[in-house]
A and B are shown apart, each in its own frame.
Chain A
Amino acid sequence: MIEAILAIVVAASIYAILARDLLHGVIALSVTSVLSASIFFLASAPDVAITEAAVGAGLSTIIFVWAIRNTERTDRS
């Protein structure tokens, strides 16, 4: 179970790094955060799971979206 979720986390992270549209990358990153939170819950770490869910799905997404909105949305390189 944990291995399967971890595999999705890896795939989503690779997508986040490769995506030309940075906003798609942010969505992929918050997916990885939510999935990480479920991994932590399955690994009997409820404290870490609460923190990761609140930070990854909420706060860091807001910060990344702020940065993209104020700069540019596509990765030109």
Chain B
Amino acid sequence: MIRRLLVLALFGTGLAGLVTKRNLIKKAYALAIMNSAIVILFVLEGAAIGSDAPLLGGAGKLFVDPIPQALMLTAIVVGVCVSALALTLAYRLYRHFGTLDIDEIKRRIGHE
């Protein structure tokens, strides 16, 4: 329960940052935090039913669930690529508008 609440706090931090922060790079931080909150949630929940890493060999092992691990593996790698894409887009906007503030960028798009 404590673990779930902490993961919820982590996710909430990310969500609040994504909604309230106007800096585009801060928004990318928030996305990364939300991603890692989900990864931690899945791995911890899947680990609740066992105590051994899912590697065959040796008898009498109680494995954790390998399925969430397999899913989160790809989620981490895809997450870093999403961060990269978000940051290159932010960089492109910065080169064009000279600011990372999303409100400022929106206003200038309206003026152009």
Contact = CB atoms under 8 A, between A and B. Distances in A.
Interface of A: 2-3, 6-7, 9-10, 13-14, 16-17, 22, 25, 29, 32-33, 36, 39-40, 43-48, 51-52, 55-56, 59-60, 63-64, 66-68, 70-72, 75-77
Interface of B: 2-3, 6-7, 9-10, 13-14, 16-17, 21-23, 25-26, 28-30, 32-33, 36, 39-40, 43-44, 46-47, 50-54, 64, 69-70, 72-73, 76-77, 79-80, 83-84, 87-88, 90-91, 94, 100-101
Contacts of A9: 6, 10, 36, 40
A48 B21 contact: no
18 contacts: A3-B3, A3-B6, A17-B17, A33-B36, A39-B43, A40-B40, A40-B43, A44-B50, A52-B39, A55-B76, A55-B77, A63-B80, A63-B87, A70-B94, A71-B91, A71-B94, A75-B23, A77-B21
